Structure formats: C-alpha cells, structure tokens
Amino acid sequence: MASAPSDYDPDKARDALRAAQLYYLQDITMEAIAQELHTSRSSVSRLLSFARESGLVEIQVKSPADRISTAQRRLRERFGITAHIVPVPNSTNEVDRLERVAVSAARILAPFFDSNMTLGIAWGGTMSAVSRHLPDKITHNSTVVQLNGAANTHTLGIVYASEIMSRFGVAYGATVEQFPVPAFFDDPTTKDALWRERAIRRVLDIQKRMDIALFGLGSTSSAVPSHVHIGGYLDKSDYAALAGSDVVGDVATVFYRSDGTYDGIEVNSRSSGPGLDLVASVPRRVCVVSGRSKLPALRGALAAGLVTDLIVDEATAHLLSDTA
C-alpha cells in the first residue's frame, strides 16, 4: 500500500474516503456522490484518484483516523467485534438505508467465504437484500446451508427461502442445502421426532460444521418489519409469550432477551432455528443490521456473544458506540 505523502491533508483524506466508500462499496454514481457531498462531479473524480494514489483504496476501502474508525475502535474494545460501518446520510429513509447496507455487506462478505468452507444463512428481509447484490466469486467444494425452516400455516416458504439460498449458491458456485421444515412447530415433541430423521439430521450436521454464520436480526419494533413478523409465522399468543419473556430480538427465529439470555423462552422450543449456543460457537459470525430501531436487538445479540463481524449503517454504529 502506498504511504501517505508528507503534505497529508486529513480533511481531503476524509472526503476521499467517503467518496470511495460510496463509489466502490455501494455502487453510487459520481453524480449522486457529488450531490451528497455538495460538490462537483470533477471534484469527486479527483477525490477518487486521490483515494487510489494515497492507498486509501486497493481492493477494499481503507479507513484513516476519522469518526467512523473511532466508532470501530470503541466497538472492538467494548464488544470484541470487527465493525464494518457503512456511511449513509441521516436523511435516508429506512428502506433505502437497508439497501445501501446490503450492497456493502454483499461486497464485504465475499473475501470471508472461500473454497472448502460452509456458510450458514438465516433467511429474512436483510439476507434477501444482501443476496440481490452478491458479486460472483467461484469457489470449490463449498456449501451454503439454510439455518431455519420457512414453512407456516399459510405457505411452505419454499420460494422465498430457496430464492435467497439459490442466489448465494450461484454467486459462489456452492452446493445449496435447504432445510424443508416449518419455521415453528405447533408441538415441541413433533420437532424432536423430526430431528431424529436421517434426512433432517444430515442438514443439522452440516450446520454444526459452519465456518461462517450470516444473519440479520429480527425485531418486533423494527422500522422495516422483519419477515418473520409480517409473514404469518407467529400468532397473538406467541407475541404475548414473547412480551412476557422480555424478548428484544431473534437470530434465525430463535429469540433472546436484552441481556443475551434465551433460556425459558417457550417459543424457542418450537423453533427450527439453531440453538444460539451453536451460533456462538461458529468461528465467524457476520451480523448485518440497518436502522436505529434495531438497537435493542443488536445489543441483545452482542450480549449473547453472537457476533464477530458487524456490518451496520453509520448512524446506528455511532449510537451503539456512544452508549457502549
């Protein structure tokens, strides 16, 4: 990487970093970047050139000492995680905010996954958005495995979940292992019986060999509703039980409280998602989060030790780091 020149200008470096993140990680055009930075297209072009020449950009964007890297450092010190912070204007609506985080997440994820690896994916709205922006990276002897079932009383969920899984499989040239079971069982004993079937055990065993777990966070209070909460997966009695257990979020349809505990939550005994102790044992656990309404769920996931890499929008990252 090129070294910084002796007349290094921190203000110019900051602007160049911002432009590079928008251009290379989010596919924002130079015209749009110029509007966002309140400058001209030619100035954006010069900033991008400066970013390349000064070593801010190689294959991925590098961050000098600025507000974003300060938040990254605080989050590492407090939670022991690597934060990948996506710059998004505060005025951006929540749908567009999620889309911009998803674009960056798709690119950040690519170097993590390689040949001879297994990637576990929890379906949901965030993962659906990420799957639409995956760059091609052909791997060998690799597997993507679905972490939780998608069927409910209204739909088998096959189209929704399989489309997400298929996009990952195609992008990485990986074998796709689907999990054709309900998202939630009516009776825990039915789940226990099905879990003894060899066909289901095979998928469960693949899940146990995950190198990477990739997931968003479910939340009843999210500004962009989680798919599990709008898709008819839970009824009024389920929500009452979750409220009574002080639940703040879920990973792969397994629920937890603000302190990270998840024992004694009745719905979890009927969930098809992996136990959170299994998730916490995966070497790399990539959580993608967008929007400050997800903060309670994010804090709970961090308390549970479920995250090693956090891909998050700038405003949410600063709120988390400021209160850490």
Q: Concatenated DSSP letters for 227-246? A: HHHHTT---HHHHHHHHHTT
Structure tokens of 126? Answer: 């965030």
pLDDT at position 88 over 80? yes
Between the CA of residue 322 and those of 65, 78, 315, what are the distances in Å? 17, 11, 11
Residues 98-136 have pLDDT tens digits of: 999 999 999 999 999 999 999 999 998 899 999 999 999
pLDDT at position 10 over 90? no
> 208: number of CA atoms within 13 Å, CB side?
6
Helix (H, G, I), strand (E, B) or coil at 255: strand
pLDDT of residue 56: 81
pLDDT confidence band for 68 (50 / 70 / 90): confident
Structure tokens of 300? Answer: 């709970």
This prediction has a pTM of 0.79
One-letter-per-residue 3-state SS of 268-282: HHHECCCCHHHHHHC
Task: Give mean pLDDT, residues 196-213.
Answer: 97
Phi, psi values for residue 144, rounded to 5°? -115, 130
DSSP letter at 292? G
Phi, psi values for residue 200, rounded to 5°? -75, -40
User: 230 Cβ partners below 8 Å, 6+ apart?
Assistant: none
Residues 125-169 have pLDDT tens digits of: 899 999 999 999 989 999 999 999 986 656 545 557 889 999 999
pLDDT of residue 2: 43
pLDDT confidence band for 234 (50 / 70 / 90): confident
Residues 266-295 have pLDDT tens digits of: 999 999 999 999 999 999 999 999 999 999
pLDDT of residue 1: 42
317, 88 contact by CB (below 8 A): no
Task: Give mean pLDDT, residues 55-64.
Answer: 61
- For the ranges 18-27, 61-70, 304-313, the one whose mean pLDDT is highest: 304-313
305, 287 contact by CB (below 8 A): no
pLDDT at position 297 over 50? yes
pLDDT at position 188 over 50? yes
